[in-house]
Each structure stands twice: as structure tokens, then as C-alpha cells.
Amino acid sequence: MNARFVVSALAIFALSTLFGFMVHGGILAPMYTELANRGIYRTPAAAGPLMPYMMAANLVFAVAFTWIYRNGRSEGAWLGQGFRFGLAIALLVTVSRYLIYYVVTPLGSDLVAQQIVYEGLTMIVMGVVAAFINRDAPLAR
């Protein structure tokens, strides 16, 4: 692990936290409140004390995201690699996770579609950012 790895992981941590707040704490919050009122999700008051776990999850995600990107990249244009990586992570993590949630939790298809679209876009943005930060670094293999 070197300084560029740390910078990349911290940037992805900051973005995943910011995007999570914007998407889940903002755009989708009214839908989550409805689910909390029905007893399906935690209320904001009940979730608040658990936020350190959310931060830990974002940090683990950021380190893994950076590690996988740095070990899987190849020579070539960083922008295309970042876009493809973000798309691959969106398919691996976001689409699969929310489709599973749709099956096991009584969520509406409109909410699940929005979760997939918004988080998928954030994964692509984070892939491009990781590629930008690591664009000139020697390949970490």
C-alpha cells in the first residue's frame, strides 16, 4: 500500500459516503420513511446510533474498490478503464444486491429500480475517479 492507494481509498470513501447521503438520505428518503412506518426498515431515530457501522462499511468498500481497481487495470486509457470498472462493480454489487432485496423484502419495483439506477451511476463515477487518481501510477501487481 502506498500514498496513491491511500488517497484513492479516501476519495472513494468520501464519494461513497456523500453519494449514499444524497441518494439514500435525500432522494429516496421519503420512500424509506414509508417503509419504516410500515415496520420494514428502521426509523431514522433507530438507525442513527448505527451510523458508525455505515461508515465502517463505506471504508471497507473504498479499500476493496481501490484494491481491485489497482490490481485489475491494464495499460490504456484511464477514462475507459474507470468507466468499465465502475459498470462492472455496479453489476456485481448494486444490481445483484437490490434484486436480491427485491425478492426477500417487500420493496416496490419503483424503489428498487431507482436504487439500481442511482447507485449504478455512483459506481461509474467512483470508477472514473479511481482511474483518474491511479492513472499514472505503476501497475500494482
Domain range list for the chain: 3-133
The pLDDT value given to residue 35: 95
| 110-116 own/partner pairs: CB under 8 Å, 24+ apart | 111/28, 111/31, 114/27, 114/28, 114/31, 115/23, 115/28
Q: How many residues does the chain have?
A: 141
Give the max Cα distance, the chain: 52
Neighbours of 127 (CB within 10 A): 24
pLDDT in tens, 87-134: 999 999 999 999 999 999 999 999 999 999 999 999 999 999 999 999
pTM here?
0.91
Average model confidence (pLDDT) across the chain: 94
Q: What is the pLDDT of residues 61-85, one digit of tens each?
A: 999 999 999 999 888 899 999 999 9
Total Cβ atoms within 10 A of residue 118:
18
Q: Is 2 helix (H, G, I), strand (E, B) or coil?
A: coil
pLDDT of residue 75: 83
